[in-house]
Chains A and B, each alone.
Chain A
Amino acid sequence: MGAVMTAGLGMAPAATAAGHPLKKGLKVFVVPKNLGNSYFTTADSVKSGGALAALKALGEQGQETSGTADSPSSQLPVIQADLSKGANALVISATDPTALCPTLNAAMKRGVVVVTYDSDAPACRSLFINQASPQGIGAVEVDILAKELHNQGQIAVVSASASDTNQNTWIGYMKTELKKYPKMKLVSIVYGNDDTATSTQVTQGLLSRYPNLKGIISPTTVGIAAAAAVLDTAKYRGKVKLTGLGTPDEMKKYVADGTVQAFALWNPASLGYLAAYAAVELASHSITNAKGQSFTAGKLGKFTVGAGHTVLLGPPFVFNKSNINKFNF
């Protein structure tokens, strides 16, 4: 809190109608699920225009910290260290919906702002920045696959870890959407733990176990890239359809050679940017987390807090052969 005095009040760039101008010099820690994950690098880095870019533009002290494994036991010590360094706000993608809560709730009691993005921990944050509505994400993947499969055949899901909040929510909505396609049957959900080697193995296991498998949905960037590499052989290319959530860079080869026709994602950099903006707005008491509060997130425009203290980024975007080369992340 002591770092605020450097900013002249009159110079605050983005005073909003709601109240206080934005503070500068806030210590904001961005905590992705793990480091070295290209999706989060895009969401967080200055180069891609993510969370740290927003913090830099606002004059805050932004830093990205996390463990190297996608697990609460790896993420929690990092969050605790951030708090002991005097964090004013945390922007977190939760590795577990509940395991982080004792620490995060204690921090919030002391006035630290907690904003989740990408993966939520509903019981212990002020706001969740939702990349796209879970219904929208679940539905778009099923719809892509249904179109490619002419609405029929066995399908399976290659997910990340069994405890991931967002994965499980999306898979739930996939099941709902599948009711529209009675001839498509979800035969298995397997977990690759967002690890390339494990995702490869579970995909191979699906192919061996279900010789009539026609389609795979992998709602995680590591999983879809690993699954694409498995299917990228003469035997499977185009015969087992693959879709899910992927980054354009990772999927370019597989879209070009026909292993994958279409997949979805939002812009992770916009997600991180919006989350960082929201955290600064909250930490500056410019907005509260109440429904109907609104703020302008720089280049992204105006957003309004919705039900359940969430802010929605927008609808998912579908990448295919015609547009993929316009994107570089």
Chain B
Amino acid sequence: MSGAMGAINATVPPAAPSGPDARRLVDVVLRARELGIVAALAALVIVTTALEPRFLDSQNIEFILSNTTIFAFLAVGEAMVVISRNVDLSVGSVLGLSAYLSSNLFTQVHGIPVPLVFLVGLAIGLVCGVLNGAVVAIGRVPSLVVTLASLYIIRGVDVWVVGGGQVVANNLPSSFLSIGTSSIGPVPVMALGVGAVVAVASYYMKKFRSGRELYAIGSNPDAAVLAGLRTGRRVFVAFAVSGAIAGLAGVLWAADYGTIDSTAGTNYELQVVAAVVVGGVAIFGGSGTIAGAALGALLLESINTALYVLGVSPFWDSAIAGFLLIVAIALDKGISTRLTGALRKRNLQYGT
């Protein structure tokens, strides 16, 4: 809820002296939330490295970043959807369908240019996202139900199309596979690309009117309608973007893993939603940042890798992810309650 205040303050001219003050307070809190993730990440790195110095080995850093890349990318689209008080559960299935159909082009059309394959992946994702968005925005059906249905439908289409077939590394050109393996120092090229996307999306959500409106819609959909925002259109676009990103992520997945069957991306939706929430995006919309969501993906993936490196049972991985979710939600609740109280007090003090 905290971001909601910021959003509405940003779109409504500051009529009272409380405006700038409150905004500063909100900024501090938001920044604190991302700082919290960074602090958690730092603590994890310090503890793990103390126990096992090889955790900070450049090869291991490359592994972590390369495994984070696809989740962080998906988290960009998912965060936009969640900020608008919706959820997109179909991203894993969209990724799977796109991964197979796009990489299969290499076996069907000899010498097809790699960028064209990325475009096809993007188009597949966009179609799925547009369908999700249309049903949610025009049909006014809760997105949880819509995307749960499309999760199953799209995976079903995937299993039907792929059958038991698969695309194997031998059929993929090395220029395509090298996208998944090349790196600059310990930073995979794919991670650099996704980092740029995160930066652009963060800037958009912060500075553009349509981005701010997603926060307003998520924080109070009814008020957003009354304020004259075109809520349907904004939510529709958020789903289309999430779908398009999942489609592109499918092509990256194919380049990264090299062997693609109908199981690609299974269960990714929950890991992505977890990353978004751990990254400080409120599950009921209206607050959080894209950068935070990407950091959430990095944190979860780092925990995962830390456990493997330390040789701890992967059971703990799921347990710790669950614990972090509860911490994130509790923090969110606590912060928003306090913030609402603080703002009310100020308003009373200065009068509105």
Contacts and interface: CB of A to CB of B under 8 A. Distances in A.
5 contacts: A36-B263, A68-B159, A229-B169, A250-B166, A253-B170
Contacts of A35: 159, 164, 262
A256 B263 contact: no
Given A41-B163, A208-B60, A201 B305 contact: yes
Contacts of A68: 155, 159, 262-263, 266
Contact of B261 (A38, A42, A205): A38
Given A205-B308, A250-B168, A37 B261 contact: yes
Interface SS of B by simple majority: helix
B170 A249 contact: yes
A69 B262 CA distance: 11
Given A188-B311, A204-B67, A235 B59 contact: yes
A195 B168 contact: no
B234 to A, nearest CB: 33
Interface residues of A, number: 42
B259 A226 contact: yes
| Complex A-B, nearest 4 residue pairs according to Cβ-Cβ distance, in ascending order | A41-B164, A205-B308, A36-B262, A253-B170
B169 A208 contact: no
A207 B165 contact: no
Contacts of A34: 263
Interface in A182-216: 188, 190-191, 195-197, 200-202, 204-209, 211
Nearest to B57: A208
B38 interface: no
Interface in A208-243: 208-209, 211, 222, 225-226, 228-229, 232-233, 235
A233 B309 CA distance: 20
A277 interface: no
A254 interface: yes
B184 to A, nearest CB: 14
Interface SS of A by simple majority: helix
A249 B259 CA distance: 10
Nearest to A252: B170
Contact of A211 (B54, B162, B172, B180): B54
A209 B308 contact: yes
Contact of A201 (B52, B163, B304, B310): B304
A197 B262 CA distance: 13
A131 interface: no
Contact of A233 (B60, B181, B257, B305): B181
A256 B308 contact: no
Given A36-B164, A229-B259, A249-B168, 17 more contacts: A35-B164, A35-B262, A36-B162, A38-B261, A41-B164, A68-B155, A68-B262, A69-B266, A188-B311, A195-B266, A196-B259, A196-B263, A204-B60, A208-B308, A226-B259, A250-B170, A253-B258
B113 interface: no
Contacts of B59: 207-208, 235
Interface of A: 34-38, 40-42, 44-45, 68-69, 188, 190-191, 195-197, 200-202, 204-209, 211, 222, 225-226, 228-229, 232-233, 235, 249-250, 252-254, 256
Interface of B: 52, 54-55, 57, 59-60, 63, 67, 155, 159, 162-166, 168-170, 172, 180-181, 256-259, 261-264, 266, 304-305, 308-311, 314
A208 B164 contact: no
A205 B159 contact: no
B168 A252 contact: yes
Contact of B257 (A40, A208, A229, A252): A229
Nearest to B156: A68
A235 B256 CA distance: 17
A254 B263 contact: no
Contacts of A42: 164
A252 B107 CA distance: 15
Contacts of B259: 196, 222, 225-226, 229, 250
A3 B244 CA distance: 50
B309 A205 contact: yes
Given A208-B57, A209-B308, A196 B257 contact: yes
A35 B57 CA distance: 38
Contacts of B67: 197, 200-201, 204
A303 B142 CA distance: 58
A252 B258 CA distance: 12
A85 B264 CA distance: 31
A36 B261 contact: yes
Contacts of B264: 196
Contact of A209 (B52, B165, B261, B304): B52
A235 B181 CA distance: 11
A206 B264 CA distance: 22
Contact of B258 (A36, A69, A197, A229): A229
Of A41, A190, A197, most buried by chain B (CB within 10 Å of CB) is A197
